[in-house]
Homo-oligomer: A and B are copies of this chain.
Amino acid sequence: MARALRQGCADGDVVEKIIGYGRDKVHLQQALDLGVIDSYELDIGRAVANADLILLAVPVAAMEDVFTEIRPHLAADAIITDVGSAKVAVIEAARHGLGERLSSFIPGHPIAGTEQSGVVASFAELFENRRVILTPLPENTAATVNRVRELWTLCGAEVVEMAAAHHDEVLAATSHLPHLLAYSLVDLLAGLDDSEDIFTYAAGGFRDFTRIASSDPVMWRDICLANREAVLVLLDQFSKGIDKLGDAIRDGNGEQLMEVFSRAKEVRDRIK
């Protein structure tokens, strides 16, 4: 977002100064060297003290502690937003951690990313023509929501709003479940006797299918646990689905396979 805002608008226009905060000085120095941030702080209170906008990009289970730590240091008109992939849990964390400052928090989630982590993997074009979902709270004012909307628009994204619970169901389907399946498949194959051979003969389809298994494990552990209800409903349905496919294969029931495969192809062909 820092890179995108710098590219999307003249410096000093919308973005005056970008301060980085994190646990690892090496990473912060890297961000500084790359020109992504203007300075960094190793004390979270100092980092947020004079900030107009605070963007939280931490694993969702860490959100509550971060909200609690920044709360006493927030400027009166500070706006806080986040990029967590499970919105109900982050809102709950904000209620606990931010208390009377809850209205300053606009929950957000850019539907964009790669399987890579760290500032070196960042690029300004990440959000271009992608969607950012905001799940505003009843406590938010229209002005603060619009401020966050405006910033994401400057990054090239299309901003949409929806209820947090609906966001969590949609993301469980398109993102959380696929990550679980990719991790699970790679883990299964890695444990097979001929796993070396298996990965040697993996082609492009396999590489695409399993790319997301390179994503950050801590981030995904937290998302799966934070959005456990929606994830478990789908995982259970998926498990029943593949068991049925297994039965069809066992019974030599080509018609049933054709039915599932054709329906899936028809739907998938519509997604570019």
Spell out A's residues near B (CB within 8 Å): 61, 111-115, 130-131, 133, 166, 169-171, 173-175, 177-190, 192, 194-195, 197-199, 201-218, 220-222, 224-225, 228, 231-232, 234-239, 241-243, 245-246, 249-250, 252, 254, 257-258, 260-265, 267-271
CA distance A258 to B211 in the complex (A): 17
Is the beta-carbon distance between B111 and A207 smaller than 8 angstroms? no
What residues of B have a CB within 8 angstroms of the CB of A270 in the complex? 199
Is the beta-carbon distance between B192 and A173 smaller than 8 angstroms? yes
Using known A-B contacts A181-B242, A208-B209, A242-B238, determine if residue A202 contacts B232 with beta carbons closer than 8 Å.
no
Subset of 29 A-B contacts with CB under 8 Å = A112-B203, A113-B205, A131-B201, A166-B197, A174-B199, A175-B205, A178-B185, A179-B205, A180-B245, A181-B242, A183-B245, A183-B264, A185-B264, A187-B263, A188-B234, A190-B264, A199-B267, A199-B271, A205-B212, A209-B211, A213-B265, A213-B267, A214-B268, A216-B265, A217-B258, A220-B261, A224-B249, A225-B252, A225-B254
Known: A170-B201, A183-B260, A224-B257. 16 other contacts (CB 8 A): A112-B203, A175-B205, A175-B206, A178-B210, A184-B241, A184-B245, A186-B268, A187-B260, A187-B263, A188-B241, A208-B208, A213-B267, A225-B254, A228-B249, A235-B246, A239-B239
CA distance A202 to B184 in the complex (A): 20
What residues of B have a CB within 8 angstroms of the CB of A241 in the complex? 184, 187-188
What residues of B have a CB within 8 angstroms of the CB of A171 in the complex? 201
Is the beta-carbon distance between B207 and A271 smaller than 8 angstroms? yes
The listed residue (B201, B217, B242, B261) touching A239 by CB distance below 8 A is: B242
CA distance A211 to B261 in the complex (A): 13
CA distance A194 to B258 in the complex (A): 24
What residues of B have a CB within 8 angstroms of the CB of A269 in the complex? 214
Taking the closest CB of chain B, its distance from the CB of A172, in whole angstroms, is 9
What residues of B have a CB within 8 angstroms of the CB of A188 in the complex? 234, 237-238, 241
